[in-house]
């Protein structure tokens, strides 16, 4: 064989190796965690990386593995956006994990429609003690067509209005108690060269939180329920037009920081605006508290951060106790997993995930657990925040799931796209309603 032929072979082999490498796109951390190959009493678990969640998740798995030496769970953690891609691709290729972490709602329904997850209704019926330990309101987003396909885990995360107390003091104003007061505060903060609200507009779901609360406060939760149920022209409610007009009024009054539509929430730039005092208020999920604590220096410790439920709208029909957010996080069992792996997962569900250490771990991370009776654990510097969050979550007449999680990914994308255009003043409220009516039920 001469040299040239040899080189050609080398390149060919390289190409073959590259091809082979593309075939096995399994998880990076686990060893044998393919859902379909996880036999022998081993189960795999995929979830999100990073604090505050990852250490608590890892601790739960360590506890389980220690108590059950012959049935190991292998965890793999991914970043938020990477996980959303990864889990979809691997489930489609039958390479998914035994336990699938998710947000419930429309995403879970898509798994159910493709027969990818186990129906847990019967199992929870037999293990009523497990079900009893979890807040009943968390099961809504785990239920598809009357059947439960996921176990609510981790924390309840309502969306609340955060504000910077120091900035309010400096400008000499009080936190708003109504929509009218919000609009009255806007010019005062602008005059003081402080953005009234911080908004990570490029992430789009951040803008959506405004629509969720404003629609609920003006019309109650029924309007979105009709959209969710797939009723024809459900967005054509006068309250929707009213709500959309209010939002555009706020945008036109410079209610959000300059350049809000290019600010991303993933980089926590919106959070930074609040603790640096460049913005006075921010509507965001309760997880923001942890970010303000860890990124804001002494901001929270010095009592700079305030929080409240979204205020009422004058003349609105909605109950001001209502809230929106994540009623929990959700763990499903892959229907493609082996019987042994499924048993390991169920044992994990019925023991470790509902034990006292799990509850204490999530409280310590700054969250309100989905497990009942956690109030006695709220102590130390975060106690007031945790008490208030539990109060909002438990006191809410309706705890609605975030729209983009409740809807199917297809409908959610159209929703987010139109919301971005609404904030950009690119579409009128009527155009918004027309294009959203077009995707109802899709």
Partner 1 sequence: MTAAAQRVRGGNVAWMALPAFLMFLAFGVVPLLGVLALSFTTWNGIGEIVPSGTTSWRATLSDPGLPHALWVTFLIMALSWAVQTPMSILIGVFIAGRKRYREFLAVLFFIPLLLSSAAIAITYKSLLDPSFGLGSGLGIDALNQDWLGNATLAMATLIFIVSWQFIPFHSLIYQGAVRQIPTSMYEAAQIDGAGRWKQFWSITLPQLKYTIITSSTLMVVGSLTFFDLIYVLTAGGPGDATRALALLMYQQGFQANLMGPASAIAVILVLVGLVLSLVLRRLGGRADESQLEGA
**Residues in touch with partner 1 (CB under 8 A):** 4, 8, 11-12, 15, 19, 85, 88-89, 91-92, 110-111, 113-114, 116, 195, 201-202, 257-264, 269, 272-273, 278, 408-410, 412-414, 417, 420-421, 424, 426
- The helix (run of H) or strand (run of E) holding residue 269 is helix 269-275
Question: What's the min distance (Å) between Cβ of 241 and partner 1?
Answer: 20
Contact predicate 218/242, CB 8 Å: yes
Q: Can you say whether the dihedral through the CA atoms of 272, 275, 278, 283 is positive or negative?
A: positive
Question: What's the min distance (Å) between Cβ of 201 and partner 1?
Answer: 8
The rounded distance, in Å, linking the Cα atoms of 16 and 5 is 17
Nearest to 154 by CA among 325, 330, 373, 351: 330
Q: Which is nearer to partner 1, 269 or 400 (CB)?
A: 269
Question: What's the min distance (Å) between Cβ of 426 and partner 1?
Answer: 4
Chain CA centroid to CA 2, Å: 61
Question: What's the min distance (Å) between Cβ of 258 and partner 1?
Answer: 5
Q: Which is nearer to partner 1, 263 or 323 (CB)?
A: 263
CB atoms within 10 A of CB 409: 14
What does DSSP assign to residue 311?
P
Question: What's the min distance (Å) between Cβ of 45 and partner 1?
Answer: 19
Question: What's the min distance (Å) between Cβ of 438 and partner 1?
Answer: 11
Q: Which is nearer to partner 1, 273 or 305 (CB)?
A: 273
Q: Which is nearer to partner 1, 310 or 330 (CB)?
A: 330
Question: What's the min distance (Å) between Cβ of 34 and partner 1?
Answer: 16
Cα-trace Rg, the chain: 24
Return the structure tokens found at 174. 């009080």
Nearest to 420 by CA among 286, 261, 295, 254: 261
Any idea what the Cα angle at residue 150 is, between residues 309 and 234, rounded to 5°? 55
Q: Which is nearer to partner 1, 88 or 165 (CB)?
A: 88
Question: Alpha helix (H) ranges present in 318-400?
Answer: 339-350, 356-364, 383-395
Question: What's the min distance (Å) between Cβ of 114 and partner 1?
Answer: 3
Q: Which is nearer to partner 1, 175 or 409 (CB)?
A: 409
What does DSSP assign to residue 134?
B
Question: What's the min distance (Å) between Cβ of 355 and partner 1?
Answer: 32
Buried b (16+ CB within 10 A) or exposed e, 237-250: bebbbbbbebbbeb
What dihedral angle (degrees, nearest 10) is formed by the CA atoms of 328, 334, 340, 344?
-10
Chain CA centroid to CA 31, Å: 29
The rounded distance, in Å, linking the Cα atoms of 109 and 141 is 10
Q: Which is nearer to partner 1, 91 or 371 (CB)?
A: 91
Q: Which is nearer to partner 1, 60 or 420 (CB)?
A: 420
Cis-peptide, bond into residue 61, ω within 30° of zero: no
Q: Which is nearer to partner 1, 52 or 255 (CB)?
A: 255
Q: Which is nearer to partner 1, 95 or 326 (CB)?
A: 95
Question: What's the min distance (Å) between Cβ of 441 and partner 1?
Answer: 15
Q: Residue 155 phi/psi, 5° resolution?
A: -130, 155
Q: Which is nearer to partner 1, 94 or 121 (CB)?
A: 94
Contact predicate 293/366, CB 8 Å: yes
DSSP helix/strand/coil, 247: helix
Q: Which is nearer to partner 1, 224 or 432 (CB)?
A: 432
Question: What's the min distance (Å) between Cβ of 291 and partner 1?
Answer: 16
Question: What's the min distance (Å) between Cβ of 399 and partner 1?
Answer: 26
Question: Alpha helix (H) ranges present in 42-145?
Answer: 53-67, 80-92, 105-113, 121-126, 128-132
The rounded distance, in Å, linking the Cα atoms of 221 and 208 is 15
Return the structure tokens found at 373. 């009776």
């Amino acid at each position: 064989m001469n040299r040239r032929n040899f080189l050609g072979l080398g390149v060919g082999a390289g190409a073959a190796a590259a091809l082979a490498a593309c075939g096995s796109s399994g998880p990076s951390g686990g060893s044998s965690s393919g859902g379909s190959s996880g036999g022998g009493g081993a189960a795999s678990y995929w979830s999100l990386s990073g604090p505050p969640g990852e250490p608590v998740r890892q601790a739960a798995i360590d506890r389980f593995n220690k108590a059950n030496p012959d049935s190991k769970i292998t965890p793999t953690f991914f970043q938020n956006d990477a996980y959303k891609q990864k889990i979809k691709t691997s489930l489609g290729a039958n390479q998914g994990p035994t336990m699938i972490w998710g947000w419930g709602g429309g995403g879970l329904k898509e798994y159910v429609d493709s027969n990818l997850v186990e129906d847990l209704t019967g199992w929870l019926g037999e293990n009523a003690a497990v079900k009893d330990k979890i807040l009943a309101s968390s099961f809504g987003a785990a239920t598809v067509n009357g059947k439960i396909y996921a176990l609510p885990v981790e924390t309840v995360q309502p969306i609340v209005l955060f504000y910077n107390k120091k900035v309010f003091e400096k400008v000499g104003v009080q936190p708003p108690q109504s929509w009218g007061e919000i609009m009255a505060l806007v010019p005062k903060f602008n005059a003081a060269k402080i953005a009234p609200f911080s908004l990570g507009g490029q992430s789009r779901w951040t803008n959506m939180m405004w629509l969720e609360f404003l629609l609920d406060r003006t019309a109650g939760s029924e309007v979105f329920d009709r959209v969710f149920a797939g009723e024809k022209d459900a967005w054509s409610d006068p309250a929707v037009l009213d709500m959309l007009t209010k939002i555009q009024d706020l945008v036109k009054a410079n209610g959000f920081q300059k350049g809000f539509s290019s600010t991303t929430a993933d980089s926590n730039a919106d959070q930074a605006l609040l603790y640096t005092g460049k913005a006075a208020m921010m509507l965001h999920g309760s997880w923001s508290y942890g970010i303000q604590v860890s990124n804001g220096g002494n901001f929270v410790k010095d009592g700079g951060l305030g929080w409240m439920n979204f205020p009422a709208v004058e003349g609105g029909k909605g109950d001001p106790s209502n809230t929106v957010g994540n009623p929990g996080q959700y763990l499903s069992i892959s229907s493609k997993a082996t019987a042994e792996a499924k048993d390991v997962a169920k044992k994990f569900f019925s023991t470790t995930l509902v034990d006292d250490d799990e509850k204490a771990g999530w409280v310590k991370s700054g969250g309100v657990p989905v497990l009942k009776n956690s109030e006695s654990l709220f102590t130390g510097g975060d106690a007031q925040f945790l008490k208030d969050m539990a109060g909002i979550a438990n006191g809410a007449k309706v705890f609605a799931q975030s729209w983009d999680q409740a809807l199917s990914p297809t409908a959610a994308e159209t929703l987010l796209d139109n919301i971005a255009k609404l904030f950009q003043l690119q579409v009128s409220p009527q155009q918004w309603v027309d294009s959203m009516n077009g995707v109802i039920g899709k």
